[in-house]
Structure 1
Amino acid sequence: MKKAAGQVQRGRGRPRCFDQEAALERAVLLFWDRGYEATSLDELSAAMGISLSSLYATFGGKEQLFRTAVDRYLARGGGAMDRIFAEEPTARGAVRRLLETAADEFTRPEHPSGCMIALAGTQCSPDARPVQDLMRGHREAWHASLQARIQRGMEDGELASDTDAAALATFYVTVLLGMSVQARDGASPESLRAAVEAAMRAWPGPGAPLAP
């Protein structure tokens, strides 16, 4: 007999008759809104519409569920940063598009404001250090990707050869993460786009490296 869509069966026990993808999506939204440590297992169970035993059996507990939720959150963007950096012909254009996209995405009313990677694991107790390390690793990957795009701009002659690519990447990652905090505080997409315009005025031109 063919299993109904959304049903998950494990071993010889009773099938868990719930939509695993829908339950995971609700977990993403809760973690995104409240952060890792401020979200309790009871709240997750209620939001996902499943029992605690089903949560553990299916997702492996709170930390593993959070890791799965982070993967799902990142998949939402479909590799947006890499795509933007590949499509835009200049590093400046790539950074502008990245920030403008963030201004829109961070303020959409259909999901929690801001960025889950920026907000959901910044303040954790020692017991949750692996979660904090996970999120920091994703942010460091963003910095590395941005620095690589800036270095490519230097190789193309768009930026002076003595531009401090690491410092410039740090500046624009700081802008990106700061926009996430501003969005959580209620900033409008228009105000964030105005911040993008201000940040882009700091972009160094050929022969004008970022000042120390």
Structure 2
Amino acid sequence: MAPRPAGRPRAFDRDDALRHAAHLFWQHGFSGTSTRMLTAALGISSSSLYAAFGTKADLFAEAIRSYALRYSAIYDRALAEPTVTKVIERLLLESVTEFTRTDEGHPGCLTSSAVMADTSTTLDVRTYVADLQCSDEARLRNRLEQAARTGELPATVQVAVLAELVQTLWQGLSTRAELGATRRELLGVAHFAMTLIPPMPAGRSPSVPAPASGA
């Protein structure tokens, strides 16, 4: 009987490999995650690991950047909403969903965890994360300022304070998730927080962006 041909090797999925690597760094920190653990989780040899990502430190840095941009993408989607209420609601609710993916092995926010844990020397995690979060907060503040100019927000609202409130809620939801709060509990907090956001003035309707030329 002819021998069975060897099965085809599993196709390498870089995004999936980054996700598995991030989970290990999340659970064990940078120093506590060995190359052997990474190759076992990714299903590749150490030579393939080095060829794909470089050193362990390079892989750690890429995993941090990948997740940081994943969180920033929530802002992208939220800021596309037509009203300030919808912007803040989507930002908080989607973040809760992201922070409570316990079935995937990572409660909370990886970048916040990495800031507080040991890191490699190839990436200043604290500075990188702080810069990205400041950029996201600035985008949110710009959207709130636009809403204030068009009358979508009451004139009494202090835009900078409202932006800071939303960012503080975001950070708090992340921390509470890391401490074991459930998705249901955090959604309850987010929904209650929405009742504290100043409503759109009566009789106002959200501005509708003009269609792009040629549309």
Same fold (TM over 0.5): yes
Structure 1, unpaired ranges of 5+: 1-5, 8-16, 208-212
The amino acid of 2:144's aligned partner reads I
Structure 2, unpaired ranges of 5+: 1-7, 202-215
Counterpart pick for 2:188 among 190, 194, 197:
194
**Aligned residue in 2 for 1:46:** 40
**Aligned residue in 2 for 1:3:** none
**Aligned residue in 2 for 1:11:** none
Shift of 1:23: 2.8
1:90-105 → structure 2 map (5 Å cutoff): 90-105=83-98
Counterpart pick for 1:158 among 143, 146, 152:
152
**Aligned residue in 2 for 1:145:** 139
Worse-matched range after superposition: 37-46 or 56-65: 37-46
State how far apart, in whole Å, the 2-side matches of 1:116 and 1:77 are.
10
State how far apart, in whole Å, the 2-side matches of 1:204 and 1:93 are.
12
The amino acid of 1:171's aligned partner reads L
Aligned residues: 192
**Aligned residue in 1 for 2:24:** 30
Point out which structure has higher relative CO (alpha carbons under 8 A, 6+ apart). Answer: 2
Shift of 1:28: 2.4
The 8 Å contact of residues 28 and 72 in structure 1, kept in 2 or not, is answered as no
1:52-201 → structure 2 map (5 Å cutoff): 52-74=46-68, 79-86=73-80, 88-111=81-104, 112-124=106-118, 127=121, 130-161=124-155, 163-201=157-195
TM-score (ref. length: structure 2):
0.72
State how far apart, in whole Å, the 1-side matches of 2:37 and 2:73 are.
30
The amino acid of 2:56's aligned partner reads K
Aligned CA distance change for structure 1 residues 163 and 128 (closer, same or farther; 3 Å): farther
State how far apart, in whole Å, the 2-side matches of 1:152 and 1:124 are.
40
Q: Secondary structure at the match of 1:186?
A: coil
Aligned CA distance change for structure 1 residues 23 and 196 (closer, same or farther; 3 Å): closer
State how far apart, in whole Å, the 1-side matches of 2:175 and 2:82 are.
29
Deviations 1:134-192 (A, max 9, x none): 12222222211221221121122122446332222121111111111111222112211
State how far apart, in whole Å, the 1-side matches of 2:11 and 2:55 are.
17
Worse-matched range after superposition: 88-97 or 35-44: 35-44
State how far apart, in whole Å, the 2-side matches of 1:76 and 1:19 are.
21
Q: Secondary structure at the match of 2:101?
A: coil
Counterpart pick for 2:12 among 2, 15, 19:
19
State how far apart, in whole Å, the 2-side matches of 1:153 and 1:118 are.
30
Deviations 1:108-158 (A, max 9, x none): 333212222332223447947612211222222221122122112112212
State how far apart, in whole Å, the 1-side matches of 2:60 and 2:13 are.
14
Shift of 1:77: 6.3
**Largest Rg, 1 or 2:** 2
State how far apart, in whole Å, the 1-side matches of 2:122 and 2:181 are.
30
State how far apart, in whole Å, the 2-side matches of 1:122 and 1:52 are.
28
Shift of 1:46: 3.5
Cα RMSD for the two superposed structures: 3.1
